[in-house]
Amino acid sequence: MNPRFLREEVDAAVDALLMQQVILYPTDTVWGLGCDAELPRAVEKIYQLKNRPTNKACIVLVADEQMFARYAAVVPPNLPELLATQQRPTTYVVLGSSHLAPNLLAPDGTIGLRVVLDDEFCRLVVRRLGHGLVSTSANLSGEPTPALYTEIDPALVRKADYVAYWRQDDTTRAAPSRVVRVLPDGSLEVLRD
């Protein structure tokens, strides 16, 4: 890994996000489209790019427990234990807070939040941005999820405002995150394993 290249890639992605643009980037799981999770206009652009129904919520990547708390209306009291014991990237569905773009929430007011633990690029982008980063798979609605850059529809690549070069040549296949709903008692209901 070239530290200078990583820094340049993070800087370029954050610059685009600060200009309310949509980025195409490798996440801690699959390739995704992203924008600042607090900007309704940028969120709307992602829905348009994907031809995604607006009633289907997206995931938001956060840097740490504090950022998780900013976007969750109620933080699970056992969140530190959940994060310490998770075996793979896990998205926690919780009631969303007023800090999120309203058009990002599911019809029931929930949002999927994922603390980025093992992916340096994503973690650095989210930390530098200082806000949650929308993460939705880089595909048209209903099409297969791209694990590799080469699997992304070229038309979608052309529509993104910024395309990260980071890991474009990576051939490691990753699965989408595990998705769990946090119940009032702190227990988890698995929605996608």
Query: What would the pLDDT profile of 95-147 be if each residue is shown by its tens digit?
Result: 999 999 999 999 999 999 999 988 999 999 999 999 999 999 999 989 999 99
Query: What would the pLDDT profile of 5-28 be if each residue is shown by its tens digit?
Result: 999 999 999 999 999 999 999 999
Taken in order of first residue, the domains within the chain and their CATH numbers are 3-192 (3.90.870.10)
In the predicted structure, residue 1 carries a pLDDT above the cut 80: no
Identify the sign of the CA torsion 94, 95, 98, 101. positive
In the predicted structure, residue 164 carries a pLDDT above the cut 90: yes
Tell me phi and psi for residue 113, to 5 degrees: -115, 135
> What's the pTM?
0.95
Which of these, 171, 125, 166, 118, lies nearest to 1 by C-alpha position? 166
